[in-house]
């Protein structure tokens, strides 16, 4: 198995999408149990045509948090974050070589400190006008508590703002030492990371704007949306992925989801794919927006990885997604993996996927993003240039797609370098050789250049590739050359 499975000659960017890691009631899986189950399942993916991930995306609710009557809330929450930090570092070790820059983490509603929220409020003797509306507005000072049927006012702004601080500390610690940091220098909550080798740029949003112990509505700070637009506009990476926590639909008796008009702005800015969690079940569908022209975003929801049975919707299991983006075929494939009662992850057959364990969506074109040629198109252009003996042009085209360099690009580069007689660079590309033809070409170049010691080293490296008769002849030529020099 390898990261970014090859389709033809092309690498396919792949994301392990997990969400809602918060542990609730029994049965409560440990970190070791979850990691073992995911790693064991990954060994089956190659046979199912599923690549290993290039990135890990965590779309919120890292911890369970605490109830309003918790006696030592800070200590308990900090312990929960230590547990999830250990989990994410181990998961990164297993799938992305411990590279934390390849792990995108955003918060959810459970990451809001409820005790600090309540400490910032005081109950009101009367109910102000429009409380029913104001209580759900992010910037309102009014909140409504259904349990005691009372209105509350936010009176301590600093304490209220601190309800987000323990997650922020966790996030800063997790990304500490990375250069560049996925945390841009903006006054708010935003993750922004570019992966040119994958052709992906990922923006992670906190959909907890105005969220607290009484207001459960999802929202993203408008200033962070604006900041993401500026960052995305400067990026030349072709495919843009947005990550947040809250779902964008809800039932008539629910308020804990995000207004779809927030997604309108993300679509308008040029995001192609949206990943979220919160609802504890997998989903995938195009979200369409009619501007002057129709444009859309592929919106993918992940189920919960770790909640207890009582927190799962009827018929659902613990889940995660593997999201595969294929730019050349303009498709997104979402594979859903579900945990059995025995604790084993396998493909999860979904009624809304037609009984399949995966669904394929169209990769939308984004009006706000530049449309660049695909890697396949650029490789075709480079091969055409080689055929026309335009070797310099072929090399310029290849330099634009580096560091992708799939095997086909390597072969084109070898032909172009050979065509212009660029011996030193050709030796670099051919070392070590990947097949017998490359080995023979490399030996020929080194022998013609009189570099017999280097030829001897490369001959030994290529020993298993070369026919014994040819090997003996080459060894003799090297020996004669050494004596003559």
List the domain boundaries for the chain. 6-111+161-362, 121-155, 375-484
- Is pLDDT larger for residue 51 or for residue 5? 51
Domain 375-484 has CATH 1.25.40: yes
The token pair that represents 302 in the structure block: 């992940």
pLDDT band at 4 (very low <50, low <70, confident <90, very high): low
The SS3 assignment for 41 reads helix
CA 122 from chain center: how many Å? 41
Closest Cα to residue 332, out of 95, 15, 70, 91?
Answer: 15
Beta-strand relationship, 142-145 and 150-154: antiparallel
Question: Residue 284's pLDDT is what?
Answer: 85
The token pair that represents 398 in the structure block: 């290849």
Residue 25 has pLDDT above 90, yes or no: no
Which residue's structure tokens are 């996925």? Answer: 182
Question: Residue 373's pLDDT is what?
Answer: 65
CA separation for the pair 234, 476 (Å, rounded): 58
**Mutual orientation of helices 423-430 and 407-420 as an angle, nearest 10°?**
150
Give the 3-state secondary structure of 78-134.
Answer: HHHHHHHHHHHHHHHHHHCCCCHHHEEEECCHHHCCHHHHHHCEEECCCCCCCHHHH
The SS3 assignment for 303 reads coil
Residue 404 has pLDDT above 60, yes or no: no
CATH architecture of 6-111+161-362: 4-Layer Sandwich (3.60)
Which residue's structure tokens are 């005691």? Answer: 148
* Single pTM value for the model: 0.77
Give residue-wise pLDDT tens across range 281-304.
Answer: 888 888 877 666 668 899 999 999
CA separation for the pair 294, 290 (Å, rounded): 4
């Amino acid at each position: 198995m390898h990261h970014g499975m090859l389709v033809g000659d092309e690498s396919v960017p792949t994301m392990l999408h997990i969400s809602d890691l918060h542990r609730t009631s029994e049965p409560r899986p440990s970190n070791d149990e979850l990691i073992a189950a995911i790693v064991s399942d990954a060994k089956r993916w190659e046979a199912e045509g599923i690549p290993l991930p290039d990135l890990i995306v965590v779309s919120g609710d890292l911890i369970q948090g605490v109830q309003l009557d918790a006696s030592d809330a800070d200590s308990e929450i900090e312990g929960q974050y230590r547990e999830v930090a250990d989990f994410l570092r181990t998961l990164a070790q297993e799938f992305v070589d411990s590279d934390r820059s390849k792990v995108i983490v955003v918060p959810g509603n459970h990451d809001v400190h409820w005790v600090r929220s309540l400490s910032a409020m005081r109950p009101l003797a009367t109910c102000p006008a429009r409380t029913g509306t104001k209580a759900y507005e992010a910037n309102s000072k009014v909140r409504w508590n259904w349990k005691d049927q009372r209105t509350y006012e936010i009176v301590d702004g600093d304490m209220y703002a601190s309800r987000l601080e323990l997650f922020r500390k966790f996030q800063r610690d997790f990304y500490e030492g990375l250069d560049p940091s996925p945390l841009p220098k903006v006054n708010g909550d935003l993750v922004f990371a570019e992966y040119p080798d994958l052709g992906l740029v990922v923006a992670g949003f906190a959909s907890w704007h105005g969220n607290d112990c009484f207001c459960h509505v999802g929202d993203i700070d408008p200033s962070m949306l604006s900041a993401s637009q500026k960052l995305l506009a400067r990026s030349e990476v072709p495919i843009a992925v947005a990550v947040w926590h809250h779902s964008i639909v809800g039932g008539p008796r629910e308020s804990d989801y995000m207004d779809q008009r927030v997604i309108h702005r993300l679509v308008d800015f040029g995001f192609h794919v949206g990943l979220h969690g919160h609802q504890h079940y997998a989903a995938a569908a195009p979200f369409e927006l009619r501007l002057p022209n129709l444009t859309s975003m592929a919106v993918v929801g992940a189920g919960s990885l770790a909640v207890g049975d009582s927190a799962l919707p009827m018929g659902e299991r613990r889940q995660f997604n593997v999201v595969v983006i294929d730019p050349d075929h303009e498709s997104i494939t979402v594979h859903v993996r579900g945990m059995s009662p025995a604790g084993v992850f396998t493909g999860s057959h979904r009624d809304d996927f037609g009984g399949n364990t995966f669904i394929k969506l169209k990769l939308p074109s984004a009006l706000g993003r530049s449309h660049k040629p695909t890697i396949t198109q650029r490789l075709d252009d480079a091969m055409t240039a080689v055929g026309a003996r335009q070797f310099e042009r072929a090399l310029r085209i290849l330099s634009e797609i580096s560091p992708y360099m799939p095997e086909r690009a390597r072969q084109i580069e070898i032909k172009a370098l050979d065509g212009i007689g660029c011996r030193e660079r050709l030796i670099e590309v051919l070392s070590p050789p990947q097949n017998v033809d490359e080995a023979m070409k490399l030996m020929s170049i080194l022998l013609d250049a009189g570099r017999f010691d280097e030829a001897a080293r490369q001959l030994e490296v290529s020993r298993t590739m070369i026919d014994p008769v040819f090997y003996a002849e080459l060894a003799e030529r090297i020996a004669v050359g050494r004596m003559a020099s």
